[in-house]
Structure 1
Amino acid sequence: MVTTRTTWQTASRVRRALIPLILFFLIMPVSYGTVRANTKPEAIPLQPIIDAANSGDTLTLEPGTYLGPIHIDKRLTISGGGRSTLLNPSPKAEVAVLIRSDGVQLQNLNIQQDNDGEAAAVRVEADQVTLKNLSIHTAGFGIVLREASGAVITNNKIRWFIPKGSAAGTRGNGIDLYNSHGASISKNEISYLRDGIYLENSRNTKVDQNRLSYLRYGVHCMYINGSSVTDNIGEYNVTGAMVMGVKDVVVSGNSFRKQSQNVHSQGILLYDVRTSRIFNNLVEGNRVGIFMQQSSGNTLRNNLVLRNFVGIQFEGAEDNRFQRNGFIANVIEAQASGSQNNELNGNFWDSFQGLDISGDGFSDLPYAINPFYQQLIEREAAYQLFFQSPGMTFLSDMFNSGKEQWSADSAPLLQFELETGAGTGADEGGGQGPVMVVGWLLMFVSVITILYMGVLRL
């Protein structure tokens, strides 16, 4: 009896001793795995690596996280391979990358700029610099050029780094140039910043094939004579392109759509523009498609102005030429005030019922832009409540005062086909427009649908 009791007591003590050991082995792998999962690699300071390099070297960074800010004051090529990230958490208003040497190339690098205000992710103060395949998240500006000519800025993605509670006014511009001539800015994607591409006093600049969305101005141009804005896509901005104080500029092949969320939204805004060419653009679904103010000596040709509230609006625009533009499905096709001596010829107005006696495709009756409604709401904005009411339409038709001074298309086109596709960037001449292409596509879909429904009924 004593032996049995002693044996039971011994077994009980063994069990009590084994329980902590078993629990230790059960918990240890979980704890060890948790520690490993929460361990993050240290950011590697990048400036010492740059300081150790010689001018002309190519630095290919290993995948990982690097610590900024950095200053590049020698001719280097730095590539992150697309898997390297530069962080700039400095509380001071410092740029993440400052370039002060000609010929620097920075490419395939992710940059996170946490400083807001005037601080930029990349600031260039040198010539012939290439910035390529960068992915930038910034709380301030994206790329800033100052007194830097001949830059190539291509295939970059620039977005706002959104801290909670930050107001829209704290955002900077995506790409910002001042007194930086001869730059090529192409194939960049910019969103959720102030202005996508801001150009000031930067002549002979090419802005080509960029995608710009959720901005104030997609492209904002001031004093950039001899430059071009071509084949860009802008959507959901306040204004697609704001072109101001320029001459000898080309705005071609762009698509500016759905700028309509603001009372000042326009597809293309031309202010104080001289001797420039605006052609082959698509402006669709905006509050105002094309707004031209205090501009003269320009040619607007072959633009497709589609489904805007106001197709085109002139204020103080004189001595301009408007030819072969198509105004389709706009609520108000055109408004004009204080705009004389403009040559409107051969445009298509889809609400106009013309008369073609000679059979040449042009109306023998002119299309006059009645300024009654615009003048009325300028004097009393509340009359907008009666827009397109029977009484407003009747009064507008009765208004003929000063008709000889109205802007008028002397020979409206009765059937519309773009000479080249809007949004292609091709020069004027040849080809079929998107209206024809869309028409054929709709006809094809309709035929297939009819056939398909017929098969189902059989």
Structure 2
Amino acid sequence: MSFRGYSRIFLVLFLVSCLFFMSADHVRAVEASDEPIGIPLQPIIDQAGTGDTIKLTSGTYVGPVVIDKKLTILGDGDVSLINGSSDEAAIAINSAGTELRNIEIRQAAGGEVPAVSVKADHVTLDNLSIQTRGFGILLRDSKGGLITNNKIKWIRLEGKLGGNRGNGIDLYNSDGIQIIANQISYLRDGIYIENSQDVKVDNNRLSHLRYGIHCMYVNGSHVTNNLGEYNYTGAMIMGVSDVIVSGNSFRKQNQNVHAQGILLYDVHTSSIFKNTVEGNRVGIYMEQSSNNVLKDNLVLRNYTGVQFLNADGNRFQNNTFIANVIEASATSSKKNQLDGNYWDAFQGLDVTNDGLSDLPYATNPFYQRLTAKNAAYQLFFQSPGMIFLSDLSSGDRADWASDHAPLTKPTALLSGGVAEYPGLVMFAGGMMLLVSILLIFYLGVFRS
């Protein structure tokens, strides 16, 4: 090939390389820009009439947007809305009856800024996927709305649960709201409700949060069938009356010194029943609360099963305690009816064969008091010396938390549907152990 031919090839390669690097620089510039690239959504909303349905085709749209008339906005396919450097909510809903469904929302602004702001009644938010550096969904002075099937999480999963993160769903002065079947993780509080009445919180999944559910002054509300795991506290219920907390499962809240499955503070005339608290530092903690009913709860594998402090006149009945280090403790708590519960550490005597022990069961607070003064004594849990000292320490027996008619058999289901009674679990474990021993024996004889 001639020199001219090589020169042409070199020139072509040089031009291609220049175009490549220019394109790469352009891509980096776009990625570094605070302004996302996509279709502005506000003009589409402005052109629609009141009561219209807007179907957004697959693509990326740009916020922020304000909805000030009744609209139904549906994502038809893979629809995402990006809100970049703006310090406003990605979507602000100010008109009653608005519906928002099937959209992915990325909120880049942090602090107190939400991805979705609602200041209107009877708003429906369904099947939204929200990633936020601030709050997820914020409701203020809103009535009768529905928040369902949404996924809300911190925009990045790494990092500790800092106070700069917002709440997943945050309600204030908003009554009659239904919060159903949402998944919330890696934010501050999963569902925060304050000064709001008749709220329904049902069947939500909450993980890696400070409080999975945080209720303050929410009289007449329902917290039911929720699952909380790996939070500091599963449910914090404070300053309420006539509330139902039922069918929830709060597990593995044990990574903080103040971690609890269910925390009840200043709670009155409420019902807490059929919940499972498993593997928490404290299963159920109750303080300054009175005239509540705690019934049919499964308290399983917690460090402290139930703890009362300045809690008077509560009825604690038909609960099942299994494999807790400290089963129950009560400090400055009077006139609580702690009768008819099952305690796996207690061997009762049922002469009348009515399912209730004729001998009472009193939980000795010696171990708890000792470890509270020096945590190192936890190493001696269930040691012969610790049991001996515990038996000697019975001078204040009248102040112990006592069950005057404990159950001889449990009534609550084991967590996760493993078995109906712990005896079945023991039977299954024994059978597995027997099979293992026979297998080892068989192999040993066979090899010999």
Q: Could you tell me the TM-score, scaled by structure 2's length?
A: 0.87
Q: Equivalent residue for 1:4?
A: none
Cα 1:167–1:362 change in 2 (3 A) is closer
Post-superposition offset of 1:167: 7.2
Judged with a 3 Å threshold, the aligned counterparts in structure 2 of structure 1 residues 31 and 433 are, in CA distance, closer, same or farther, namely farther
- Once the two structures are superposed, what CA deviation does each residue of 1:131-182 show, in whole Å capped at 9, x if it has no partner? 0111111001100100111111111111111398897121010001111111
3-state SS of the aligned residue for 2:389? helix
Q: CA deviation at 1:254?
A: 1.0
Match of 1:414 in 2: 408
Contact 1:386–1:392 under 8 Å retained in 2: no
Q: CA deviation at 1:374?
A: 3.8
Residue deviations 1:107-141 (CA, integer Å, cap 9, x gap) = 11111111111100011000100001111110011
Q: Which amino acid aligns with 1:353?
A: Q
SS in 1 for 2:286: strand
Q: Equivalent residue for 1:63?
A: 58
User: Equivalent of 2:285, from 283, 291, 314?
Assistant: 291
- Paired residue for 1:365? 359
Contact 1:218–1:241, Cα closer than 8 Å, also in 2 = yes
Q: Which residue of 1 aligns with 2:33?
A: none
User: Cα 1:64–1:270, aligned 2, differ >3 Å: closer, same or farther?
Assistant: same
* Post-superposition CA distance 1:189-238 (Å, at most 9, x none): 11100000011111111111111100000011111111111111111100
Please tell me the root mean square deviation across aligned C-alpha atoms, in Å: 3.1
Residues 193 and 353 of structure 1: CA distance in aligned 2, closer, same or farther (over 3 Å): same
| In structure 2, distance between residues paired with 1:357 and 1:310 | 31
Q: d(CA) in 1 for partners of 2:441 and 2:377?
A: 48
Give the structure with the higher percent strand. Answer: 2
CA contact (8 A) 2:305 2:326 kept: yes
- Report how far residue 257 of structure 1 moved: 0.7
> 1:80 and 2:67 equivalent?
no
Letter in 2 for 1:221: C
Q: Which moved more, 1:274-283 or 1:436-445?
A: 436-445
Distance in 2, matches of 1:390 and 1:270, equals 35
The answer for the alignment partner of 1:152 in structure 2 is: 146
What does the per-residue CA deviation read over 1:344-390, in whole Å, with 9 as the maximum and x for residues that have no partner? 22211111121122222221100012233444555x34674575354
Amino acid corresponding to residue 6 of structure 2 in structure 1: I
One of 314, 319, 322 as aligned partner of 1:325: 319
Residues 1:414 and 1:166: Cα distance change in structure 2 (over 3 Å)? closer
Report how far residue 278 of structure 1 moved: 1.1
Q: Partners of 1:415 and 1:165 in 2: how far apart?
A: 45
Deviation by residue 1:71-121 (Cα, 9 ceiling, x = unmatched): 111001111235111111124x31111111001111111111111111000
Partner of 1:47: 42
1:18 aligns with 2:2: no
Taking the aligned partners of 2:288 and 2:407, their CA distance within structure 1 comes to: 27
DSSP 3-state at the match of 1:114: strand
| Cα deviation, residue 401, structure 1 | 2.8
* Contact 1:282–1:423 (Cα < 8 Å) also in 2: no
State, as a whole percentage, how many aligned pairs show the same letter: 56
CA contact (8 A) 1:147 1:178 kept: yes
Provide the residue aligned with 1:405 in structure 2: 399
1:164 & 1:344 partners in 2: Cα distance?
44
| Aligned residue identity for 1:300 | L
Q: 2:235 aligns with which of 238, 241, 245?
A: 241
Contact preservation (8 Å) 1:281, 1:423: no
The reply on whether 1:395 has 2:389 as its aligned counterpart is yes
Q: Give aligned pairs, total.
A: 435
* Structure 1 residue 32, shift from structure 2 partner: 7.5
Amino acid at match of 1:335: S
Partner of 1:107: 101
State the SS of the aligned residue for 1:119: strand
The worse-fitting range, judged by mean Cα deviation, of 399-408 and 172-181 is 399-408
| 1:261-410 matches, cutoff 5 A | 261-376=255-370, 380-381=373-374, 384=377, 388=381, 390-410=384-404
Deviation at 1:43, TM superposition (A): 1.2
Whether the 8 Å CA contact 1:252–1:423 is kept in 2: the answer is no
**Aligned amino acid, residue 43 of structure 1:** G
The alpha-carbon distance between structure 1 residues 90 and 306, as it changes in their structure 2 partners (threshold 3 A), is same
Q: Given that residues 125 and 146 in structure 1 are in contact (C-alpha distance below 8 angstroms), is that contact kept between their aligned partners in structure 2?
A: yes
Contact 2:157 2:186 in 1 (8 A): no
Matched residue, 1:211: 205
Question: Is the Cα contact below 8 Å between 1:253 and 1:422 reproduced in 2?
Answer: no
102 and 436 in structure 1: CA distance in 2 versus 1, 3 angstrom threshold:
farther
What is aligned with 1:9? none
Using a 3 Å threshold, how does the CA distance of structure 1 residues 156 and 398 change in structure 2: closer, same or farther? same
Distance change (3 Å), C-alpha of 1:357 and 1:96: same
8 A Cα contact 1:306 1:330, kept in partner: yes
Ranges in structure 1 where 5+ consecutive residues have no aligned partner: 1-13, 425-431
Cα gap change, 1:60 to 1:308, in 2 (>3 Å): same
Partner of 1:189: 183
Cα distance 1:216–1:453, how it changes in 2: closer, same or farther (>3 A)?
same
Aligned-partner residue type, residue 278 of structure 2:
E
